[in-house]
Structure 1
Amino acid sequence: MFRRLESLIDPFAPFSDSEMPPTSVARFMWHYLRPVLGWLGVLLAISVVTGIVESSLYLLVGWFVDLLARSSPETILADHGHLLLLAALLIAVVRPLLQSLDELVQNQIIVPQTTNLIRWRTHLYTLRHSVGYFQGDFAGRLANRIVQAGPAIREIAVTLLDTLVYVLIFAVTALALFGSISLWLALPMALWIAGYGALMWYFVPRAQTRSLANSESRSLMVGRVVDSYTNILTVKLFARTDDERSSVRDALDQWLRSFLDLMRLITGVTAALAFMNSALLVATATLSLRLWMNGQMTPGEIAAGLALVMRVITMSGWVMHTVRGVFENIGVVQESMATIARPHAVVDAPGAPDLAVTEGAIRFDRATFNYGRETGVITDLDLAIRPGEKVGLVGPSGAGKTTTTSLLLRLHDLEGGRITIDGQDIAGVTQDSLRRQIAVVTQDTSLLHRSIRENISYGRMGASDAEIERATRLAHADGFIADLVDHKGRRRLDAHVGERGVKLSGGQRQRIAIARVILKDAPILVLDEATSALDSEIEAAIQEALSTLMEGKTVLAIAHRLSTIAALDRLVVMDHGRIVEQGSHGELLAKGGLYARLWHRQSGGFLGEKEAQAAE
């Protein structure tokens, strides 16, 4: 039964993950709760019925007291046995069934599935953001806001529908009971409800503001802690442990101040509520006594009325804390919404087809891009690469080489011109199909915190072990993989590499990345300092493997170490986002231009920044 109920909501049902969420709290929540509105309606109906039954128990107590007062022990069962049986059935059967149904709908149908549904959908939308979006924030803070959005939105919905409706029914029942007896008796409850509403009107907006500040400071604290852990090697190497302690302590102190600010508000409001509750109880008891003395109220009615008042008083503090929780969650939702509900910077055109690579010809046609700066990083770049041609990009730091490859991969959208592959504008095809056709090895290789096998097969999911092992041999990674053992005893291809691959050396990570690209076997290959982390002996072996890999492919390679790309078909020399020279290694040396100066100024073939500046 549980499994059947738990399968009624599918958290992973298909949806449009490119639709930007709304930017107001109510609409943002509605956007993610739409798939479960039907079940939330069921929960509301159950809450209403349960509230009516629960509040009626107090009236039933009053009826029972009056029944005992006016009945004879000898005849009570004969005269009223059927009513007593119905009351017993209501208490012993109907009430627990309703409570169980409420728990089933909440715990088996709504709560876990809705939480995961929201997390899944916010994650998929966030995943479609551009690289720049992720570079502009802490990874830990982004993850925290995705994870916390689900329970916050769910808790607000469930609390409003299940808890607050339930409490409202008790207050209305008490007011109706007192009003049916005497308007004077209803007056304290009416005044209390008005005062409670005023207190909430004062409390809620202030709690919302302070809860948002508290949530933001908590996220900052988490972000700084995660940042320290992620960059622990840098922290250790630069002996900055004390500085990191201070940074996290400042964040903790900021969170503590915002939390104490919220607690002060709660303490003041709770104290005011305690005085209001006591006044309500004394006033109701006093008026009930006077009405009983005048024969206008029975002992049973007094018992029921005072029981209802005490129940409302008990729940009032609970409601205050519940409402505080609701607005704390609203603060969390506001924070998550500010991060998640942003337009995607790079999007597929409506109805964009997949890229079809038949030859691999690449053309930059007056491509311009400047990261939003006034001075262009890439300006009117014209470059045609023939199918199967191996082209090296050369130039000093900041010349625009890596930006050129990023634009080819459409990690950013051009601000002018266009880029085509086999005549197809890359802005008009799907991003995923474009990147499937391009294999990339970058200088800064980071691996997923998964097994060696999973990292290599990322190049082609579903690859066999034989294909993975062949890629590791070609990448000269099989030697060190054979000796790998992680902290859980997993060996070889099953060994995990740590966050960003920190358990491997730079050269080992580079060889895993090259094996991944070999396995992908895409028709276009981009090498951005692909062998920079390798020693000379390994680099020579890898160059041989890369030569095999490059056969029949269009290649765009970047290297500061010019000797690694000198043998390519054509070298394109860039400076300040423009092409200043191009030709073969020999042709460029013969010209005696920028490339020749860079070549002659290198020590061991490495283009240092000082040499690059001197060459200019």
Structure 2
Amino acid sequence: MFAWFERRIDAYPDTPPAMPPAGLWRFVLHYSRGSLPWLILLGIGSGLIAVIEVMLFGWLGQLIDQLASTPREVFWQEQGGRITIMAVVLLVVMPLLNLVTSMVLHQSLMGNFPQRIRWQAHRWLLRQSVGYFQDEFAGRIAQRLMQTALAVREVAMKIMDVGSYVLIYFLGAMVLAASQDWRLALPFLAWALAYGALLWHIVPRLGRVAQAQADARSDMTGRVVDSYTNIATVKLFSHSDREESWMRQGMDRFLGTVHAQMRLSSIQDIALNLINVWLVASVAGLGLWLWTQGTVAVGAVAIAVPLALRLNNMAHWIMWEFAALFENIGTVRDGIGSLALPREVRDAPGARPLEARAGEIRFDAVTFRYGAKAGPRQMAVLEDLTLHLRPGERVGLVGRSGAGKSTLINLLLRFHDIDSGRITIDGQDIAQVTQDSLRAAIGVVTQDSSLLHRSVRENIAYGRPDASADQIADALRMAEAEGFVPDLSDSAGRRGLDAHVGERGVKLSGGQRQRIAIARVALKDAPILILDEATSALDSEVEAAIQSRLEVLMQGKTVIAIAHRLSTIAAMDRLIVLDRGRIVEEGSHAQLLAQGGIYARLWQRQSGGFLAADDQDPAQG
């Protein structure tokens, strides 16, 4: 039975993720669609339970009147049928309703509903552009994802469960009291008006505080994660005190929202106690007065006073439920700011997979500005750049920091969309093919190759999950990594290829991490290869060994290489010199030296094989 209800909601739908709407209720509905039938069933069940509970109060009043007016000897004969019906309702119908609503609530909704939201939102976020993640703490994004999923669940469930129960219960109580004497309904009506005014005053304020609190909480979490992620930098610069101060700023902001929330809660609690005791006293006093006037029977008093006491007990629960509802609404609104954002880089309608055959690359009159929305006056990082890479050609990019080298690579990978011009691979415009197929055709080794916090084997096989053990071993040998991998171990006792490498690969040295990254790209075996300072983290001896392996890796591929150490790219087929986003020189190493231009000056200024740091260009590179 448990398993049946647990399978009613698919926690991992395979439908393509869609951008959620920015409006609050449309956002909640967007993430509730797969769970909506069960939310409705929960609301119906809660409403029926409320109806039966009110009916029981009415039956109790009738029973008291019948006990007072019916002789004992004929009581069961006259009232036995009605008592049997109420016994069936109480002992059979109510437990069955509670069983169904409990199963729907706990088995179907509590776990699967938020998990479904996390899955859908995570798939949407995974496909966000690189710039989205560069503008936010990773921990902050993760925190918003997790807390928004729970908040959407709470909003939807409280409206369907608590909302339907409270509304039907209160209306039923009003009708029941009025059915005895219309004046008995007046205290309930007055209480409802006062209660509504209190809700109107307190709850929206709690919602606004909750939204600020959700933002402060995610910021506080982001600061913690940022400090822990960069713990080596904190230690190296002996800045524990500064980190504590920075963290305290975030914690103080969060604590301020907690204090504001608790002040509103205290006002709510005090005011609610006042209107509750007034309700009980007025109902009891009015009921007794009407009884002494002979207007109502004793059963009416037995109905009205317990109803008032029941509402008195329920009032705090209702208030907290409504307060929690608005707190969760505030959390949802905060999450909308991170989740309901369009992708900056999107696949074109009808985009097809890239067919990378020869690896020919063309940049045709490409212009690109970071933050182009700021207007045409924004300085261009690449300006009307045209470049043709023949199939299998090996090209080195040269230029000072900020010349546009890394930007050119990022545009080829379509991490950003260009402002004008066209980039093609084998004649196919990369803006018209799917991003996944584009990046699958390009292998990249960067200066700071981060690894996933998984096993060495999973990291190497990330570009080809179906790789065999022999293929992984070949990639390790190619990257000169077979010597240290067997000696690796982690805290769980895993060794060799099964050892986990830590967040971003922090358990490995820079050289070890780089060699694993090179092995990963070697196994991917894409037709286009990008080497962005691929050997910068290696010592000279290992670099010399890796260079010969890279020669093997580059065979048959179109290669773009960036290196500040010019000696590592001097043997490329062609060198492209960039300056201020334009190609200013191109040719072989010997040809460029003979020209006596920028490349020749950079070569002469090198010390230990690195570019001089003078004359830096402020443009982004």
**TM-score after normalising by structure 1:** 0.97
Q: How does 1:200-215 map to 2 (within 5 A)?
A: 200-215=199-214
The whole-number CA distance in structure 1 between the counterparts of 2:155 and 2:537 is: 51
Q: Which residue of 1 aligns with 2:5?
A: 5
Q: For 1:304-336, what per-residue CA distance to the aligned partner results, in whole angstroms no more than 9, with x for missing partners? A: 211111111111111111111111101110111
1:420 maps to 2:424:
yes
Q: How does 1:216-255 map to 2 (within 5 A)?
A: 216-255=215-254
Q: For 1:221-241, what per-residue CA distance to the aligned partner results, in whole angstroms no more than 9, with x for missing partners? A: 111111111111111111111
The whole-number CA distance in structure 1 between the counterparts of 2:278 and 2:405 is: 76
1:91 maps to 2:95:
no
Q: Which residue of 1 aligns with 2:442?
A: 438
Alpha-carbon shift at residue 391 of structure 1 (Å): 0.3
Q: For 1:492-513, what per-residue CA distance to the aligned partner results, in whole angstroms no more than 9, with x for missing partners? A: 0110011111001111110010
Structure 1 segments of 4 or more deviating over 4 A?
none
Q: For 1:544-576, what per-residue CA distance to the aligned partner results, in whole angstroms no more than 9, with x for missing partners? A: 111111111000000000111111111111111
Kindly indicate whether the alpha-carbon contact (under 8 Å) linking 2:602 and 2:612 is maintained by their aligned counterparts in 1.
Answer: no
Q: Which residue of 2 aligns with 1:398?
A: 402
Kindly indicate whether the alpha-carbon contact (under 8 Å) linking 1:159 and 1:326 is maintained by their aligned counterparts in 2.
Answer: yes
Q: How does 1:346-357 map to 2 (within 5 A)?
A: 346-357=345-356
Q: Which residue of 1 aligns with 2:33?
A: 34
Kindly indicate whether the alpha-carbon contact (under 8 Å) linking 1:438 and 1:526 is maintained by their aligned counterparts in 2.
Answer: yes
The whole-number CA distance in structure 2 between the counterparts of 1:209 and 1:5 is: 36
Q: Which residue of 2 aligns with 1:312?
A: 311
User: What amino acid is aligned across from residue 227 of structure 2 in structure 1?
Assistant: S
User: What amino acid is aligned across from residue 436 of structure 1 in structure 2?
Assistant: A
The whole-number CA distance in structure 2 between the counterparts of 1:233 and 1:298 is: 80
Kindly indicate whether the alpha-carbon contact (under 8 Å) linking 1:572 and 1:583 is maintained by their aligned counterparts in 2.
Answer: yes
The whole-number CA distance in structure 2 between the counterparts of 1:472 and 1:611 is: 40
Q: Which residue of 2 aligns with 1:466?
A: 470
User: What amino acid is aligned across from residue 45 of structure 1 in structure 2?
Assistant: I
Alpha-carbon shift at residue 148 of structure 1 (Å): 1.2
The whole-number CA distance in structure 1 between the counterparts of 2:615 and 2:538 is: 22
Change (3 A) 1:26 1:611: closer
Kindly indicate whether the alpha-carbon contact (under 8 Å) linking 2:447 and 2:533 is maintained by their aligned counterparts in 1.
Answer: yes
The whole-number CA distance in structure 2 between the counterparts of 1:325 and 1:479 is: 57
The whole-number CA distance in structure 1 between the counterparts of 2:176 and 2:445 is: 76
Q: How does 1:124-139 map to 2 (within 5 A)?
A: 124-139=123-138
1:525 maps to 2:524:
no
Kindly indicate whether the alpha-carbon contact (under 8 Å) linking 1:598 and 1:611 is maintained by their aligned counterparts in 2.
Answer: no
Q: Which residue of 1 aligns with 2:375?
A: none
Q: Which residue of 2 aligns with 1:172?
A: 171
Q: For 1:246-281, what per-residue CA distance to the aligned partner results, in whole angstroms no more than 9, with x for missing partners? A: 111111111111111121112112211111111111
Kindly indicate whether the alpha-carbon contact (under 8 Å) linking 2:394 and 2:560 is maintained by their aligned counterparts in 1.
Answer: yes
The whole-number CA distance in structure 1 between the counterparts of 2:296 and 2:237 is: 81
What is the SS of the residue equivalent to 1:75? helix
Kindly indicate whether the alpha-carbon contact (under 8 Å) linking 1:59 and 1:304 is maintained by their aligned counterparts in 2.
Answer: yes
User: What amino acid is aligned across from residue 66 of structure 1 in structure 2?
Assistant: D
Q: How does 1:61-210 map to 2 (within 5 A)?
A: 61-210=60-209
Alpha-carbon shift at residue 611 of structure 1 (Å): 8.0
Q: Which residue of 1 aligns with 2:291?
A: 292
Q: How does 1:592-607 map to 2 (within 5 A)?
A: 592-607=596-611
The whole-number CA distance in structure 1 between the counterparts of 2:333 and 2:291 is: 53
Change (3 A) 1:349 1:611: closer
Question: Comparing 512-521 with 239-248, which one deviates more in the overlay?
Answer: 239-248
Question: Comparing 3-12 with 272-281, which one deviates more in the overlay?
Answer: 3-12
The whole-number CA distance in structure 1 between the counterparts of 2:16 and 2:454 is: 29
Alpha-carbon shift at residue 470 of structure 1 (Å): 1.1
Kindly indicate whether the alpha-carbon contact (under 8 Å) linking 2:444 and 2:530 is maintained by their aligned counterparts in 1.
Answer: yes
User: What amino acid is aligned across from residue 84 of structure 1 in structure 2?
Assistant: I
What is the SS of the residue equivalent to 1:568? coil
What is the SS of the residue equivalent to 2:301? helix
Alpha-carbon shift at residue 403 of structure 1 (Å): 0.7
What is the SS of the residue equivalent to 1:609? coil
What is the SS of the residue equivalent to 2:529? strand
1:507 maps to 2:511:
yes
Kindly indicate whether the alpha-carbon contact (under 8 Å) linking 1:167 and 1:315 is maintained by their aligned counterparts in 2.
Answer: no
Structure 2, gaps ≥5 residues long = 373-377
Q: Which residue of 2 aligns with 1:481?
A: 485
The whole-number CA distance in structure 1 between the counterparts of 2:190 and 2:602 is: 86
What is the SS of the residue equivalent to 2:3? helix
Kindly indicate whether the alpha-carbon contact (under 8 Å) linking 1:54 and 1:95 is maintained by their aligned counterparts in 2.
Answer: no
Kindly indicate whether the alpha-carbon contact (under 8 Å) linking 1:477 and 1:512 is maintained by their aligned counterparts in 2.
Answer: yes
What is the SS of the residue equivalent to 1:30? helix
Kindly indicate whether the alpha-carbon contact (under 8 Å) linking 1:215 and 1:332 is maintained by their aligned counterparts in 2.
Answer: yes
Kindly indicate whether the alpha-carbon contact (under 8 Å) linking 1:397 and 1:612 is maintained by their aligned counterparts in 2.
Answer: yes
Alpha-carbon shift at residue 14 of structure 1 (Å): 2.5
What is the SS of the residue equivalent to 2:535? coil
Structure 1, gaps ≥5 residues long = none
Question: Comparing 283-292 with 261-270, which one deviates more in the overlay?
Answer: 261-270
What is the SS of the residue equivalent to 1:458? helix
Q: Which residue of 2 aligns with 1:24?
A: 23
User: What amino acid is aligned across from residue 188 of structure 2 in structure 1?
Assistant: M
The whole-number CA distance in structure 1 between the counterparts of 2:24 and 2:243 is: 35
1:534 maps to 2:538:
yes
Alpha-carbon shift at residue 587 of structure 1 (Å): 1.0
Kindly indicate whether the alpha-carbon contact (under 8 Å) linking 2:43 and 2:165 is maintained by their aligned counterparts in 1.
Answer: no
Kindly indicate whether the alpha-carbon contact (under 8 Å) linking 1:437 and 1:523 is maintained by their aligned counterparts in 2.
Answer: yes
Alpha-carbon shift at residue 46 of structure 1 (Å): 1.1
Kindly indicate whether the alpha-carbon contact (under 8 Å) linking 1:557 and 1:565 is maintained by their aligned counterparts in 2.
Answer: yes
User: What amino acid is aligned across from residue 434 of structure 1 in structure 2?
Assistant: L
Kindly indicate whether the alpha-carbon contact (under 8 Å) linking 1:55 and 1:169 is maintained by their aligned counterparts in 2.
Answer: no
What is the SS of the residue equivalent to 1:81? helix
The whole-number CA distance in structure 2 between the counterparts of 1:381 and 1:412 is: 16
The whole-number CA distance in structure 1 between the counterparts of 2:311 and 2:49 is: 16
The whole-number CA distance in structure 2 between the counterparts of 1:73 and 1:246 is: 79
User: What amino acid is aligned across from residue 603 of structure 1 in structure 2?
Assistant: S
The whole-number CA distance in structure 1 between the counterparts of 2:284 and 2:348 is: 71
1:14 maps to 2:14:
yes
Q: Which residue of 2 aligns with 1:361?
A: 360
Q: Which residue of 2 aligns with 1:52?
A: 51
Q: For 1:427-480, what per-residue CA distance to the aligned partner results, in whole angstroms no more than 9, with x for missing partners? A: 111100000000000001111111111111102112112211111111011111
The whole-number CA distance in structure 1 between the counterparts of 2:290 and 2:464 is: 83
Kindly indicate whether the alpha-carbon contact (under 8 Å) linking 1:361 and 1:387 is maintained by their aligned counterparts in 2.
Answer: yes
The whole-number CA distance in structure 1 between the counterparts of 2:480 and 2:296 is: 94
The whole-number CA distance in structure 2 between the counterparts of 1:466 and 1:295 is: 97
Kindly indicate whether the alpha-carbon contact (under 8 Å) linking 1:224 and 1:248 is maintained by their aligned counterparts in 2.
Answer: yes
Alpha-carbon shift at residue 210 of structure 1 (Å): 1.3
Question: How many aligned positions are there?
Answer: 612
Kindly indicate whether the alpha-carbon contact (under 8 Å) linking 2:605 and 2:612 is maintained by their aligned counterparts in 1.
Answer: no
The whole-number CA distance in structure 1 between the counterparts of 2:616 and 2:134 is: 27
The whole-number CA distance in structure 1 between the counterparts of 2:541 and 2:572 is: 20
What is the SS of the residue equivalent to 1:367? strand
Q: Which residue of 1 aligns with 2:42?
A: 43
The whole-number CA distance in structure 2 between the counterparts of 1:597 and 1:497 is: 42
What is the SS of the residue equivalent to 1:582? strand
User: What amino acid is aligned across from residue 174 of structure 1 in structure 2?
Assistant: A
Change (3 A) 1:464 1:286: same
What is the SS of the residue equivalent to 1:106? helix
Change (3 A) 1:418 1:256: same
Alpha-carbon shift at residue 612 of structure 1 (Å): 7.0
The whole-number CA distance in structure 2 between the counterparts of 1:422 and 1:79 is: 93
The whole-number CA distance in structure 2 between the counterparts of 1:183 and 1:7 is: 49
Kindly indicate whether the alpha-carbon contact (under 8 Å) linking 2:366 and 2:423 is maintained by their aligned counterparts in 1.
Answer: yes
The whole-number CA distance in structure 1 between the counterparts of 2:166 and 2:56 is: 14
Q: For 1:326-353, what per-residue CA distance to the aligned partner results, in whole angstroms no more than 9, with x for missing partners? A: 1110111011101111111000000101
The whole-number CA distance in structure 2 between the counterparts of 1:525 and 1:260 is: 56
The whole-number CA distance in structure 1 between the counterparts of 2:148 and 2:479 is: 42
Alpha-carbon shift at residue 91 of structure 1 (Å): 1.1
